Amino acid sequence: MGLLEVSWRAAPADIDEAQYVLADPFVGALNVAAAKARAIAPSAAEVIVAADTLVVADGHILGKPGDADRARAMLRQLRGRPHVVLTGVALRTADDQCWGAVVSTRVLMRNYADREIEDYVERGEPLDKAGGYAIQDTLFRPVENLDGCYLNVVGMPLCAVAAGLAALGLDVKMPADRVPPCGYCRAGAAVVSIRSRY
Blockwise average pLDDT, block size 10, the chain, 198 residues = 71 88 93 95 87 93 93 97 96 94 95 97 93 92 90 87 89 68 66 48
Residue 119 identity? D
Q: How is domain 2-191 classified at the CATH fold level?
A: Maf protein (3.90.950)
CA distance 53 to 84: 10
pLDDT at residue 196, rounded to an integer: 44
Strand partners, 49: 91
Q: For residue 71, give the nearest of 132, 156, 3 by alpha carbon.
A: 132
Q: What are the residue ranges spanned by the domains of the chain?
A: 2-191
Q: How far is CA 138 from CA 158, 167, 170, 175, 186, in A?
A: 21, 35, 35, 26, 17
CA distance 94 to 97: 7
CA distance 130 to 128: 7
pLDDT at residue 20, rounded to an integer: 92
pLDDT at residue 189, rounded to an integer: 63
Q: For residue 43, give the nearest of 92, 104, 108, 110 by alpha carbon.
A: 92
- The residues assigned a catalytic role are 52
pLDDT at residue 186, rounded to an integer: 67
CA distance 123 to 95: 44
130 half-sphere exposure, CB direction, 13 A CA radius: 24
pLDDT at residue 7, rounded to an integer: 78
Q: Which residues contact 25 (CB under 8 A, 6 or more apart)?
A: 54, 56, 61, 84, 86
